[in-house]
Structure 1
Amino acid sequence: MTPSYANRRDIRQLGINPHCWYVVSSSQEVTSSPVGVILWNQPIVLFRDTQGKINALEDRCPHRQVKLSHGKAIGDEIECTYHGWRFNGGGDCVYVPYLQENQKPPKCGIKTYPVRELYGFIWIFIGEEKPDNEPLEIPEWEHLNYIATVATIHTQAHYSFLVENLMDMYHGHLHQNWQAWTEAQLDYITETDNKVDAYYEAQSYYKIDKIWSISQLFFRSLRQLHPERLTVSYIYPHWYSTLGEDFKIYCLLCPISVSETRAYLIHFTSLNAFWRLHKLPIKFRKFIKNRLFGCAKKMLDGLVAEDVKMIEEEQRAYQNHPQRRGYELNKAIASVQRVMKKQAIAN
């Protein structure tokens, strides 16, 4: 998993730190049928057992090397669609339909991966050692004062392009129809071996301070510019941002290969300003939270589509002329590049 010497010199060829938790799927995407995913060139199959627990195995039947994700879940096992061989959650072959009475299933176990289901997502750990850290915390997911919207990012580009896009708040110029902020000015940066915090001063289009304020997500005419602190943070390998007191966004990354990245963007709208709402029964507040889930979907999808177009153009430009380097003025980009290199090379 450690990049070669040549890769260490080129951020666009950089590998990943395998000793981290990555998000490979939303919980909703894994139901009764197995789902195949890829995390940094490693095909993985996810399936639920009879208790609803997620299992993560190498997506390969050791018999003929076909994908187990083509098969189906039977009880607590996954069955290969080719010959009907079955494997348990521990990766052991437990059944072959045409074994004779004196035969036992072959000892041809396949690799398993530590897996967690948290905050509506499936997290995978592909490091060789047992994980000694936890997935990124997302306390707003269950908090009754935050309304969530989820969008998927799937781009044919190296993950570094996406991380740089997320850290660069000067590109609000791109999002003329969807932007939540404008006039960003970088104030200062803090940096450690695994984290970068960039603090911007900006003008926000949204203010969630009255009961009708959430309608600003739908009607542009109701928006009014006002100053807000805009903070973006890269906690390797994921990202989050806050815009004033009203909005928080997470981006959970799944690098697929050197030229493909998948990620989940979670946008939270805060209801903290509505103190009367906090006094209502818990059941009703849960109803409101669930009923408003996805309320910012149109805006989020619009932002993602515009960003992906630019990111993929950057990737193509790099592939056509890898020796060219851009003229970067945002110091936050240099900071996240240093962190990505430290994490990938050191591990």
Structure 2
Amino acid sequence: MSLPTAHLEEKSPLKDTTVMPGLYVHIPFCRAKCPYCDFYSVHDSELYAAWLKAIEQEIVLYKDRFSHFGTLYLGGGTPTVLPLDHLSRLIDSLFRELTLAPWAEKTIEANPDDITPEKLILLQNSGFNRISLGIQSFNDRILQLLARQHTAVASRQAVVAVREAGFENVNLDLMYGIPTQSLNDWIQTLEEAGSMEPEHISCYQLTFKDDTPFWAEKERGALQTLTEAAEEEFFLATSELLQSKGYIHYEISNYARQEKYYSAHNMNYWKRVPYLGLGPSSHSLNHETRWWNYRSVEYYIQSLQQGRPPVAGREILSPEQVRLEALLLNFRTRNGMDLKTLQKYHHANRNLPHLIESKLLEIIGDHVRPTPRGFLVADSLAQHFC
């Protein structure tokens, strides 16, 4: 197999920054591919060993380019699908070659059917202090429609298991807007999730992505998407219910019981703090420079076998692109943007009063932030200032 080489970059060091960068590690393996998912993953266990050796090589490539990381996030794919010895070896390599701050948030994604007592002990002993469970629903009919490998019972057992293992910061990933799912179905899942008192809940609307089985079924009329009115109803009902249970709606899709349980890793994404991505298809950001790895395990492995960074491409953002991206990301969060900073954007003084009157934005203290209805159109809010 020959590698495309036009966009390979030999060095992509992160600049010094007063805020510690984040570290993301993409584990590109799943037991099976969910029909709605367009994240890069494969289900070929024969690639585990070669991938693990390759990512160990990539870790070494970056070990001397910065001092500390403030967050670690193992995502996928499904990190916990790895056999215990592979997962242990990956963690050992990361902690041996790279340095995390003593107080760093260390998160791992897990599916209910992949959790074992041995893996939970490994994670606890390794210092992981946050676990994100891919629950999606507590309704077996919905889980079957999504082709998830676990049941509602397995989800409940997984939550109990991570608590018994000592995890004090647990996130539940949930999904709504699924064909045939009623608002009542969704509310029941939210109620059950809330009764478990996780520190964090993420609620994502199902989106139909190109090149997925769900997209093909939608195109031939076999699956129906939510109407705009239904999207609003689901979203606002979610926000109202979880806030009534004491959760802070701090980002479009994310809720936390207290500010200390906000996802520090994701908050850094939204603040444009530099981050390094390792593994196939991962992305990295160094202020105005973004680069990304091959979206192929095979290309990724071969590149590193040849002693080259597995970088497929890179881009340098213009100052105006950085300003627009910062605005887009800030309007995803409850904190919004500093009023004085926002007023430096084009058309701010002209359009801000209208957006406040329309109850899409509000001024709290010295910040302009989206309302829950503003979250619904967050991606378009920035267009009013550019």
TM-score band by shorter chain is under 0.3
Greater strand share, 1 or 2?
Answer: 1
Q: Which has the higher contact order (CA 8 A, sep 6+)?
A: 1
Indicate the structure (1 or 2) with the bigger Cα radius of gyration.
1
Scaled by the length of structure 2, the TM-score of the pair is 0.24
Scaled by the length of structure 1, the TM-score of the pair is 0.25
Greater helix share, 1 or 2?
Answer: 2
